[in-house]
Amino acid sequence: MHTEEMTARDVHDHAAQWVFKIEAGLSAAEQAAFEAWIGADPAHVEIFARQSAILAADGAALQAEEGLDAPLAGDAVYYGEDSPVRGPSPWHVAFMGVMSLVIVAVLGGVGWTMLSSSDLPLPPSVSGQIYQTASADIRSQVLEDGSTLWVDAQSQVRVDYRVEERTLYLEDGAVFIEVTPNPERPLRVQAGEVSFTALGTAYEVEAREGAYTLRVDHGVVAIQDRAHGFEAVLEAGEEAHWSAATGWQHGQINRWGAALWRQERIAFENVSLGEVLTVVNRYREHPIVVVDKALSEEQISGVFALNFNDPETLVTALSASAGAKARTLYDGRVLLMPEAA
C-alpha cells in the first residue's frame, strides 16, 4: 500500500475525528490544537468541509427515517395542509456551527487565503431541494440566503445554491422571488433554455406548455435566451413573453402587477372563458368545464378571489361574469352552460 494513500486516509480520518469533537464541544487546548491543524495545510480545510457535509447528510438521513425533520436535499417537498414547512434541522445547525470554527481558525492568523461563509460547501438541506405544489395550493418559503420564494399551484422548482451563484430551476409552473441582494453571487431562475438573472429585485417567472413569461415587480432582471439569440434587460413594471407562435414580445405589466396569485386572486382583461378556465383549474381539485363553443369564447374581465375554503364562490363569480349557469356533475366536475340552456 502506497505511503501517499495512507497519508490521505489518515488526514480524512483526522478530519472526521475533529468534526465529532467539535460537535461535542472543544476545550481550550483542543481549540488551539484544531486551529493549528486546520492552518497547517490548505487541503485540511477542504477535507474537513467534506467530512462536515457528510456528517450533516448522515444526520439528516437519520432524522428523515425517524420522521423528525425536513427531507434531504434532492427530495421533493409536497406541500399540503399536513406537511408544514419546517425550519433548519439540528444537523444543519451543527454543520454551520462546525464550519464557523473553520472561519475563526483561518481568520486567526493563518497566512494563506482566508475563507468566508460563501466559500464553504452548502449543507445538503439547501442545495438540491425540490419544491412541488399540487392543485389549489400556493406556498412560500424563505431560502437559506434570506430570499423569499413563492410557488404557484401546479408548479415545481429545484433550488441549487453554489459558491458562485444561486439558481432556481423552474421545471413547470410559476414562481415569484424576492431576492436578497448579493452582487458576488447573483440569483437566476432557469426555465428550459432561458435564464432570468437579478442582483436584488422581485420578479415572477412562468414556464407552462413550452412558453415563458417574466414580470418584474421591482428592480432589474436580465433575460438570456441563447437558443433564440435573444437578450434583454427589463425594469420594474415591464414584462416579456415567449412562445413558439409569437417569439419574444415585450411590454408593460397589466394594472394588477406581478404574481397576483400570491394574494390568492387572479385577474383577466378581455380573455376568453376557455382561456380563463385553463388558469382557474390550476387551483381546483375538480375542474370547471365548458362544452358550448360560443360560451367558451365569451370575453371575461375582472379580479376573482380563489377562495380555497369555499371554491363554489369562484364558480358563482365566473358564471355571473360569463352569463352562464353551473351544474355539478357526479364526478365533482362543474359544467358551465349558457343561461338559456
Reported as a single tens digit per residue, the pLDDT across 87-135 is 444 444 444 455 555 545 544 443 333 333 333 343 333 457 889 999 8
Domain co-membership, 186 together with 252: yes
Q: How confident is the model at residue 340 (pLDDT cuts 50, 70, 90)?
A: confident
Q: Same domain, yes or no, for 187 and 110?
A: no
Beta-bridge partner residues of 189 = 168, 196
- Asked whether residue 167 falls in the same domain as residue 244, the answer is yes
83 part of a folded domain:
no
- Residues 6+ positions from 184 with CB-CB distance below 8 Å: 118
Average pLDDT over residues 73-79: 42
Task: Give the confidence band of 41 by pLDDT, cuts at 50, 70, 90.
Answer: confident
**Does 227 map to a domain?**
yes
Q: By CB neighbour count within 10 A (0-12 exposed, 13-18 middle, 19+ buried), where does 207 fall?
A: buried
Q: What distance in Å separates the CA atoms of residue 329 and residue 40, rounded to the nearest whole number?
A: 74
Which pLDDT score, from 0 to 100, does residue 8 have? 60
**Cell digits for 268?**
383577466
Mean pLDDT of the chain: 77
Residue 136, domain CATH: 2.60.120.1440
Q: For residue 278, what is the domain's CATH number?
A: 3.55.50.30
Residues 245-261 have a mean pLDDT of: 90
Domain check: are 132 and 121 in the same one? Answer: no
Residues 151, 140: Cα–Cα separation, whole Å: 6
Q: CB–CB of 114/107 below 8 Å?
A: yes
Looking at the structure, do residues 237 and 277 belong to the same domain, yes or no? no
Domain that holds residue 189: 126-260
pLDDT for res 107: 41
CA–CA distance, 281 with 171 (Å, rounded to integer): 19
Q: Using the 3D structure, point to which of 218, 244, 260 is the last residue of a domain.
A: 260
pLDDT score, position 52: 64
Backbone phi, psi, residue 3, to 5°: -65, -40
**pLDDT at 319 > cutoff 80:** yes
Asked, for residue 174, whether it belongs to a domain, the answer is yes
Domain count, the chain: 3
How sure is the predictor about 15, in pLDDT bands with cuts at 50, 70 and 90?
confident
Total length of the chain = 341
Minimum mean pLDDT range among 39-43, 94-98, 192-196, 253-257: 94-98
Predicted pLDDT at 62: 43
pLDDT for 175 equals 96
Among 148, 172, 317, 175, which Cα is nearest to 258's?
175
Least confident of 125-134, 179-188, 238-247, 249-258: 125-134
The band of 27, judged by pLDDT with boundaries at 50, 70 and 90, is: confident
pLDDT at 222 over 70: yes
